[in-house]
Amino acid sequence: MARRNGITTGRDNSGTILDLIRSAGSVSRVELAARSGLTEASVSRIVKQLLTDGVVAETGRGVSTGGKRPTLLELNASSRHAVGVFLGDTRISYVLTDLAGRIVASTESVGIAHQTRSAVVPRMVRDLETLIGVAGVNRSSVLGVGVATPGRREISGYLTRTHPLDYAEWAWHAIEDDLADATRMNITVENDSTCAAIGEFWISRAPATSSFAVLNMAHGFGVGLVTDGDVYRGSTSNVGEIGHMVLDVDGPECPCGSRGCLELLASPPRVVEKARQVDGLADRLGISADNDEWEDYERIAVAAMDGDPDALALLEASARILGAALLSLTNVLDLDHVVLTGPGFDIAGPIYARVVADELDRLAFVHTVHATAVRLSESAKHSSALGAATLVIHQQLGGFRRGPGITTELPTPAAAPST
């Protein structure tokens, strides 16, 4: 069986140098030493290995500061590739990226809802092979496959999805094992919001000292956190469940056991539910209980962007509730900026960004000290899949080190926990 990667929590020195080259675009060895705090000898040793591996290339000469003009380095983006997969209920999204996180090829297929793992995995394998083949990429350059999925990590090490199907059927470790056996490739499964955060850090060339949140909206909400250039995972890698932040203690009961959670108040399914209660809106937009819920949400988003007052009011109300959740997060963490990503923002992202930015500008605890910028991801539709691919790049090229106490092989559970 191909090796499965463990959860990662920090960066080693080679990953630090790689991140600095990525964020700078082009940079000299002397600059790398100054920015990393490493000695010039250590930087030269790391760079030599990166050059030997073909991951980094020398691209010319910089400006002289009195002596010899320094040699500049940059990523050799086409030298390596990675595949990212978003494993969703309604769709499976695939992206093939280069080392810089640029999408080389992408595709989609039917999601996993009401299907067994034994039926889906062979289809995924065929899709992966087709994706790589159509892109014309040498398979040997593909570092591995990252799979982004909602779910949680149990304390026992048993990884599960919060999915209506059988718990053990879609256990994360089972997905890893099946795909590793079928593809003979490195497989990594990670939380979709954490993947989105890693992707934003990598492809946006964020500084290695960045602290920001990536809010991912699909059918629900999740948030990935980057603090000083590291993705924060908490004590058991179960960070980011902002969808279950309680905003109304007397609100509707949530499956998680709480009341008034963000997902029950402002998620796309809730927007669709409210739209059905607005006189004339459902008929005008063709919204029906018989339709796919996500398609109805996209109808509302398109109408809102076109200026329909009822649709716009619904999304602005959703955005204000989301803004309240992000306000609490920002007040606790003192973030540089917030990135909105995920398919929920693919159409109506500008509406959400405008309303959320206004909430933070007016009410954030630190608004008189510094602004907390709000921006839309440049790749909202593919953010989790793209982040899963960049996670593979980080792991395989030393971008992160393994956290303490996390092994590469997970124990097999005696039984799946009840829900």
Q: Please tell me whether residue 59 adopts helix, strand or coil conformation.
A: strand
Cα 167 to the center of its chain, rounded Å: 23
Provide the pLDDT for residue 382: 85
Indicate whether 366 pLDDT > 60. Answer: yes
Does 269 share its domain with 335? Answer: yes
Does 72 share its domain with 124? Answer: no
Give me the CATH number covering residue 69. Answer: 1.10.10.10
Does 66 share its domain with 99? Answer: no
Q: Looking at the 3D structure of the chain, how many domains does it have?
A: 3
Among the candidates 21, 53, 78, a domain finishes at: 78
Among the candidates 21, 50, 78, a domain finishes at: 78
Does 222 share its domain with 367? Answer: yes
Does 188 share its domain with 224? Answer: no
DSSP symbols for 104-130: EEEEEEE--TT--HHHHHHHHHHHHHH
Indicate whether 322 pLDDT > 50. Answer: yes
Q: What is the pLDDT of residues 107-133, one digit of tens each?
A: 999 888 778 888 999 999 999 999 999
Give residue 58's domain range.
Answer: 8-78
Average pLDDT score over the chain: 83
Indicate whether 416 pLDDT > 60. Answer: no
Does 280 share its domain with 345? Answer: yes
Does 188 share its domain with 90? Answer: yes
Indicate whether 175 pLDDT > 90. Answer: no
Question: Amino acid letter at 277?
Answer: Q
Indicate whether 5 pLDDT > 60. Answer: no
Tell me the mean pLDDT in the region 177-185: 92
Do 141 and 135 touch, CB atoms closer than 8 A?
A: no
Instruction: Please name the residue that has the structure tokens 């937009």.
Output: 285
Give me the CATH number covering residue 111. Answer: 3.30.420.40
Does 57 share its domain with 91? Answer: no
Query: What does the block give as tokens for 149?
Result: 């999925």
Indicate whether 344 pLDDT > 60. Answer: yes
Query: What does the block give as tokens for 8?
Result: 């990662």
Does 275 share its domain with 154? Answer: no
Q: What is the pLDDT of residues 61-80, one digit of tens each?
A: 877 666 678 889 998 989 99
Indicate whether 261 pLDDT > 50. Answer: yes
Cα 83 to the center of its chain, rounded Å: 14
Does 221 share its domain with 341? Answer: yes
Q: Report if residue 112 sits inside a domain.
A: yes
Task: Report the alpha-carbon distance of residue 242 to residue 224 in Å, rounded.
Answer: 9
- Counting residues of the chain whose pLDDT is more than 90, the rounded percentage is 45
Among the candidates 49, 78, 107, a domain finishes at: 78
Query: Which one, of 214, 267, 273, 270, lies nearest residue 245 by Cα?
Result: 267
Q: Long-range contact list for 118-127, CB < 8 A, 24+ apart?
A: 120/92, 121/175, 121/178, 121/179, 121/182, 122/182, 124/85, 124/92, 124/179, 125/179, 125/182, 125/183, 127/92, 127/94
Provide the pLDDT for residue 152: 62
- Which of 80-94, 253-267, 299-313, 379-393 shows the highest mean pLDDT? 299-313
Tell me the mean pLDDT in the region 371-381: 85
- Counting residues of the chain whose pLDDT is more than 70, the rounded percentage is 84
Cα separation values, 319 from 133, 350, 378, Å = 41, 11, 19
Q: What is the pLDDT of residues 191-237, one digit of tens each?
A: 888 888 888 877 776 676 678 899 989 888 989 888 877 778 777 66
